[in-house]
Every structure is written in C-alpha cells, then in structure tokens.
Amino acid sequence: MELLKKMLELYSPAHCEEQLAEFLRDELRRWGFDTELDDVGNLIARIGHGPRKVFLVGHMDTVSGEIPVRVEDGKLYGRGAVDAKGSLAVFIESARLFKESRALTVWVIGCVAEECCSEGARHLLEQPYRPDCVVIGEPSGWESVTLGYRGSVSVLYELKCPPAHHGHATPTVGEEAFRFYQALKSRYPAGKNAFESVDVRLIEIRTYDRGLEDLVEMTLDLRTPLGFDLVELKSFIATIAPDANVVLGDPTPAFRADKNNALVRAFLKAIRAAGGEPSFKLKTGTSDMNVLGPAWGVPIVAYGPGDSALDHTPNEHLSLDEYQRAQQVLTAVLQELSTAALQQIQQEGREHTR
C-alpha cells in the first residue's frame, strides 16, 4: 500500500497532476517500466515484450478537496483512494509482475483531467495506439466488472430582462430559469432503471442586478442513456425558452461494452478463483470509457477496488483487503491473457513451419 499512500499524499485535482505524474514516471522507471509524459501530461508506461497489447487506463486527477491521508481500521483514507488512484495503483502493482513477459506488453496509462473534460483520454485518440484490449481504472468493487456508463451533456442557460418591481406579477429572471429547469425535469422524468433514464441536475444558478438589466445564469447537467435524441432536446429547448440564450456543451454519448469476449471471461474466472461471486454493473455517471470504448472498438471493461458511493465525498476511503483482492484478480486476468497469447503465438509458429 506504500505506493498508493504516496499517490494520495500528492494532491492532484484536475489540471494539477504534474507532481504526481513526475513521481510515477520516475518511480515506475526504477521498477523496469519504459515511461514518459506525453504532450498533455498523461503518464505512459510500458512493460513486457509481447505482441499482445493490454492497456490499463486510469486517471491521476481527482475532484478538489483534500482529505488527510491516514490508515484507520484497515481502511486507507485520502482524496482519490476510490476515484481512482486505488485503481491506478492496482494497475501498476499487477503490471510490474509481467516485466519479462514474451506474450504481453502491458501499458499503464494515467490520464489527466478525467474529472472535468477527459482531456487526457481524448489526446490518446490522436495517437497511433492500437490496443488489443482495455481495462479502465474506475471503482467497481473487486467482485464486479463495469460494462457501461451513461452519457452527459451540459446545458448553459442565460436570460436578460428589464427589471421589474418585486411587488408586480412579472416573473423574475430567477423564476424564469427555474421554470426552464422544471420543464426539463418534467420532459425527462426519472425512470425505474437509472441507466436507461435521463437525469436532469441543477448544478449552479446565479442572478445579477445590473441596474437597467437583470441577468440569470444557470448550469444544468444531463446524464443521458444509450440512444439519447440530442436533436429532440434542442427542439424542446427552443419551444420552452425562446427568449433565453441556451448553449449545449459537447455531448459525451453513453456507452455499453460487449461481455462476450476473452477479456470478460478472464475477469469472471479470476474473481471466482479469488472466492468472489462476479457480477456486472452499469454506472449512471461517465468515465473515460465513454471516450475510448467507441473509438478503439476492442474488448473493454472498467475495473477497480472501492465503493463508488464514496466518490467525491469527504469520507472517501478504500479497504486495504479489497485493494489486495483487486490486485489478485487483475494479476490473474493478465496471466490468463498471457497464456492465451502464448498459445496463439505457438499455434502461428507451427502453421508457419508447415
């Protein structure tokens, strides 16, 4: 746990990951990884010498808010323990065991700015990387594998109106903004299945008195399911807010991975071998899986220790036992993939000599 503890002590909110990235670059180089920091600050580390490329993609940034790093009752507390330095540390600890592998080359990637815009993951897509399979580092619990995440789109609402006396019936700009929010909530009511529903959240609202003009600015966050109709959303907004300036941010579509592949089967086998009962999860947030999954088009899952209900909370902590179990599982997964790759290499060699 010393590696993870040191990672937690290096506070790294989004866009402030440089110190952590440099520490990991130098530390992993001493462990036998080939390491570098790319143009946006992502950590790129490779180990092993095999033809099969396994990408373990975590993120180094956290939300803001420092939490004193400490161990109490078998739990490690600190900002990022769950989301998601714990997963990245598991990736490193497992990958280092494959230094001499002739079957796998394991890439450990620590992305920047996942918590705000997935800048690091988007930069990876600009590179000529072609993984054979991918594991995204996010808390799933050691017995579970995450197959999908909802999408997201931000809604920025701005309305300017001449001021009116508060004793008059004329709605204030704040009331108009709130009516817009309520209209969206009514258009997209919560369903029984959260992954398949739209969630409309009010993030921020501010009003300004500018003398001859009143102004309201509001930010909403929509979490969206597979197949969400963005065109219909724009049309609906135009009908309910004709006088407002409404801007949609760049959408991140929802994503769900296939579970019928060797990567998923390796996880199921490894979890059972560790004494667990494997299950699949579909998350209601978003992650770098939304960005990388559709673009790379290879087997992909998200996996990592921790309870995602603790994400972003002031009580964020990780069970040391769960950390060790997750490391055991991921190591077994890499070994399973290595064995399969060796068998393929041998088969190709036999066919070549015929």
Q: Find the length of the chain.
A: 354
- Single-letter residue type at 342: L
Residue 147, C-beta contacts closer than 8 angstroms, at least 6 positions apart: 256, 257, 259, 280, 281, 282, 301, 302
User: Residue 287 in contact with residue 136, Cβ under 8 Å?
Assistant: yes
- Catalytic residue (one of 17, 61, 119, 138): 61
- Catalytic residue (one of 17, 114, 288, 311): 114
Query: Which residues face 125 on adjacent strands?
Result: none
114 is catalytic: yes
User: Residue 274 in contact with residue 328, Cβ under 8 Å?
Assistant: yes
CB atoms within 10 A of CB 181: 18
- Main-chain phi, psi angles of 310, to 5 degrees: -90, -5
As annotated, the active-site residues are 61, 114
